[in-house]
Structure 1
Amino acid sequence: MKAYYQNIEFWDLITLPFYFILLYFLLTVFAKNVLLKDNKFINVYFLGLLLFYLAIGLIDFKIKLIPFFPDTKLFTAILETGRTPDNQSIGVKIGYKFLAIPIYNLSLRSIFNYFLFNVFFFQLGLIFLAGAFNRTYELKDILVQRFFLVLAALAPSIVVYSFTPLRESYFVLALGLFFYGLSRKSILNIFLVLGIVLAGILRVQLLLYFFIIIGLNYLSQLKLSRKALITLTVVLFPVVFVGLNAISKAILNIAITPKSLALFRNLQRLEYFESGVTYPEVFWSNWFDLILGFPGLFFQFLLAPFPVLIFIPFWTKIAYFADGLYLLAILFLSVLFVRYWKNYGIWFLYIGIYLAMSSFFEFHLLGAVRHRLPATLLFLGIAASSLAHYLPKYRWIFKY
């Protein structure tokens, strides 16, 4: 039996309906205020989704459905004792401690109730992300929004990580809040600030990504000509690079140089080398070496657990394999929409930058599946738009 199921008592199940009703109410309230007006669908969708997740959780208690990940024991111990080991990152010592432990106490220290909160934070982040996509492209088509939610409900990573005491639900919430704040007219707003703060206390790499996106979003709003934009980019590049290098040194303790990035990757992989799923060692002495090696890192991160640089029998890793197949389906739907990609340039830029940044730092094949989740979720808007475009005759399915 998994560590977090060992202390389950009968009263845990008695309190479950109360939390179910409370979180269902909160989800529908947020959804009706953030998303396009679609009240009937929202009511039915979130009721069905929560029942689906509740069934998975209860089945997992009796029959193992959700994998027990290596970090799960650590995070379970932190929840139950309230103490974090000194050798952990700031994201664990501060972010997880001051987010997860209060939620666990609010859950009456019941892991089932806590997992319901996990589901809630995942779905809340997705609501804000769907709302951000709607706002960015001024969408009025309800079908795009519905396909977005349905595709999100089928994401294997969200199902799996909803039932583990890890940090993924908080990451997705930070992502949704940030992009929803970014899509609003005012440059500084509560959603943007909350997203940045959450990222700052959870994972500093995500914070660095957010700062880059803010800068790009500001440039895109200047509505410069292509020539002026290229000139500005060339002029500002050295300044931006120096600034990013300083931020990287301050929050990641890594200089943005080929040798520093190679050393970081190679030291990290040594710690997990015995797992058999680390990326190959890299030898970057100059920028040319790094540029040659980058495509392999990029596509290995994007397509994990499928082989690009390394091979494992991925079909035996059922949860990771399912997530890989899901991503391929999302990418296929996005490729079908290729003729309209120019309309979604800034959104693809958001995705590409996340994948590029994460590729440099990822050194573990199975870790890549977990860390790729934000990019997968950003693809959902494009995939949903593709479905709404190519399947208009099926709109009757969603009529009441």
Structure 2
Amino acid sequence: MKVYYQNIEFWDLLSLPLYFILLYLILVSIAKAVLLEDRKFINVYFLALLLFYLFIGLVDFKVRLIPYFPDTNLFTKILETGVTPSNQSIGVKIGYKFLAIPIYWLSLKSIFNYFLFNVFFFQIGIIFLAGAFNRTYEIKDQLVQRFYLILALLMPSVIVYSFTPLRESYFVLALGLFFYGLTGKNRVNIFLILGVILAGILRIQLLLYFFIVYVLLLISKLSLSRKTLITIVIVSVPILFLGLNFLSTAILNIPISPKSLALFRNIQRMNYFESGVSYPEVFWENWFDLIVDFPGLFLQFLLAPFPVIIFIPFWTKLAYFADGVYLLVILTICLGSVKYIKGHGLWLMYILLYVGMSSFFEFHLLGAVRHRLPATLLILGLAAKGLSYYFTSYKWIFRF
């Protein structure tokens, strides 16, 4: 039995319906405030979603449906004792401690209730991401929104990480808040600030990504000719590099150079080498070496757990394999809808930027699936937009 299921008492199941109703009401209220007007669908969808997740959680208690991840023992111990080991990162010592532990207490120290909160935070993040996509492209079609929510419901990694005491639900919440704030009328607003704060205390690397995304949005808002825009980009690249190098050194203690990036990646790889699913060493002496390796690293991260540079028996890890198959389906939908989503270059840049940055640092096959989750959620927006065009003639199926 999983360690977090060992102390379950009968009263845990008695309190579960109360938490279910409370979180459902809050979730629906947030969805109606953020998403397009679609009251009946939202009411039914989130009720069905919570029932579906509750069923998965109860089945997992009996038959171990959800994988047991290596870090689970550590995070379970932190929840149950309130003590964080001193050798952990800031994201664990500060972010997890001051977010997850209060939620665990609020859950009456019931892991079932805690997992309901996990589902809750995941779904809030997804709601804000859907709202951000709507705002970015001024979407008024309910069908796009519905497809986005349904695709998110079926995403294997969201299901899997909803039932682990890890930090993924908080990452998705930070991502959703940031992007929703990014698309607001005011350049600085409460959603943006909360997203940045959450990222800073959970996974400080996200701040670097958020900074670049913010700059990209500002540039995209400039009403300039292509020639002027290219000139600005050429002039600003050295300045941007210096700024990013400063942030990377200050935040991650990693200067942006081929040798330092290779050293960081290879040291991390050594720590997990015995797992048998670490990626090969990299040897980057100069920028040319890094550029040559980049396409392979990019595809390796994006398509994990399917091997690109190396061969690993990925099919033995069913949950990861399912997530990989799911992503291939989503990418196929996007490729088949290129003519419908070709005007979504900015959103595509957000995706490529996240995958590109992450691929430099990722050294572990299973870690890549886990860390790719935010990128997959961003891709869902494009897939939902494409599906809405294909199903335009069949909207009557979705009327209720």
TM-score grouping bracket, smaller chain normalisation = over 0.9
How much does 1:293 deviate?
0.6
Q: In structure 2, how many angstroms separate the alpha carbons of the residues matched to 1:141 and 1:311? A: 43
Render the CA deviation track for 1:323-355: whole Å, top value 9, x for unaligned: 000100110111111123431000000000000
Q: Is the 8 Å Cα contact of residues 175 and 195 (structure 2) preserved in structure 1? A: yes
1:118 aligns with 2:126: no
Residue type of the partner of 2:380? Answer: L
What runs of 5+ residues in structure 2 fail to find an aligned partner?
none
Report the equivalent of 1:14.
14
Report the equivalent of 1:390.
390
Report the equivalent of 1:307.
307
Q: In structure 2, how many angstroms separate the alpha carbons of the residues matched to 1:310 and 1:173? A: 33
Residue type of the partner of 2:175? Answer: L
Report the equivalent of 1:256.
256
Report the equivalent of 1:226.
226
1:196 aligns with 2:196: yes
Residue type of the partner of 2:315? Answer: W
Q: In structure 1, how many angstroms separate the alpha carbons of the residues matched to 2:73 and 2:225? A: 54
Is 90-99 or 234-243 further displaced after alignment? 234-243
Q: Is the 8 Å Cα contact of residues 341 and 385 (structure 2) preserved in structure 1? A: no
Alignment of 1:1-400 (within 5 A): 1-400=1-400
Residue type of the partner of 1:74? Answer: L
Render the CA deviation track for 1:196-252: whole Å, top value 9, x for unaligned: 000000001111100110111111111221111110011111111111101100110
Residue type of the partner of 1:91? Answer: G
Is 331-340 or 381-390 further displaced after alignment? 331-340
Is 341-350 or 140-149 further displaced after alignment? 341-350
Residue type of the partner of 1:142? Answer: Q
Q: In structure 1, how many angstroms separate the alpha carbons of the residues matched to 2:398 and 2:101? A: 40
Is 339-348 or 205-214 further displaced after alignment? 339-348
How much does 1:393 deviate?
2.7
Is 305-314 or 129-138 further displaced after alignment? 305-314
Regions of 4+ moved over 3 Å: none
Residue type of the partner of 2:319? Answer: A
Q: In structure 1, how many angstroms separate the alpha carbons of the residues matched to 2:223 and 2:318? A: 46
Q: In structure 1, how many angstroms separate the alpha carbons of the residues matched to 2:19 and 2:195? A: 25
Residue type of the partner of 2:246? Answer: A
Render the CA deviation track for 1:65-87: whole Å, top value 9, x for unaligned: 00000001100000000011111
Q: Is the 8 Å Cα contact of residues 341 and 386 (structure 2) preserved in structure 1? A: no
Is 384-393 or 294-303 further displaced after alignment? 384-393
Q: In structure 2, how many angstroms separate the alpha carbons of the residues matched to 1:236 and 1:63? A: 56
Render the CA deviation track for 1:301-335: whole Å, top value 9, x for unaligned: 00000010111111110000000001001101111
Kindly report the root-mean-square deviation, in angstroms, between the aligned alpha carbons of the 2 structures. 0.7
Q: In structure 2, how many angstroms separate the alpha carbons of the residues matched to 1:53 and 1:339? A: 35
Q: Is the 8 Å Cα contact of residues 126 and 172 (structure 2) preserved in structure 1? A: yes
How much does 1:255 deviate?
0.5
Residue type of the partner of 2:25? Answer: F
* 2:80 aligned counterpart, secondary structure: helix
Render the CA deviation track for 1:237-274: whole Å, top value 9, x for unaligned: 11111111011001100010000001111111011111
Residue type of the partner of 2:43? Answer: N
What runs of 5+ residues in structure 1 fail to find an aligned partner?
none
How much does 1:13 deviate?
0.3
Q: In structure 2, how many angstroms separate the alpha carbons of the residues matched to 1:339 and 1:383? A: 12
TM-score (norm 1): 0.99
Residue type of the partner of 1:304? Answer: A
Q: In structure 1, how many angstroms separate the alpha carbons of the residues matched to 2:112 and 2:161? A: 13
Residue type of the partner of 2:135? Answer: R
TM-score (norm 2): 0.99
Q: In structure 1, how many angstroms separate the alpha carbons of the residues matched to 2:333 and 2:185? A: 30
Render the CA deviation track for 1:67-110: whole Å, top value 9, x for unaligned: 00000110000000001111100000000000000000000000
Q: In structure 1, how many angstroms separate the alpha carbons of the residues matched to 2:341 and 2:247? A: 32
Residue type of the partner of 2:131? Answer: G
Count, aligned residues: 400
Q: Is the 8 Å Cα contact of residues 340 and 386 (structure 2) preserved in structure 1? A: no
How much does 1:394 deviate?
2.5
Q: Is the 8 Å Cα contact of residues 177 and 194 (structure 2) preserved in structure 1? A: yes
Q: In structure 1, how many angstroms separate the alpha carbons of the residues matched to 2:101 and 2:47? A: 27
